[in-house]
Amino acid sequence: MALSGGYLLDTNILVHLLRGGDLGKYLDATYGLSGAPSGLKVSIVTWGELKSLAIQFVWGTARRAAMTAMLSGFTRVDIDNPSILDAYADIDAWSRAIGHKMGKNDLWIAATALVEDATILTTDKDFDHLHAPHPGRTWRVDREWVDPNSKLAP
* C-alpha span between 146 and 123 (Å, rounded): 5
Q: What's the whole-number average pLDDT of the chain?
A: 93
* C-alpha span between 43 and 6 (Å, rounded): 13
| CATH superfamily for domain 7-145 | 5'-nuclease (3.40.50.1010)
pLDDT tens per residue, range 89-108: 999 999 999 999 999 999 99
* Domain edges within the chain: 7-145
pLDDT tens per residue, range 38-84: 779 999 999 999 999 999 999 999 999 999 999 988 999 999 999 99
Residue pair 113/142 in contact (Cβ under 8 Å)? The answer is yes
Enter the pTM of the model: 0.94
Tell me which amino acid residue 128 is.
Answer: D
Q: Which residue has the higher pLDDT, 77 or 3?
A: 77
* C-alpha span between 64 and 95 (Å, rounded): 34
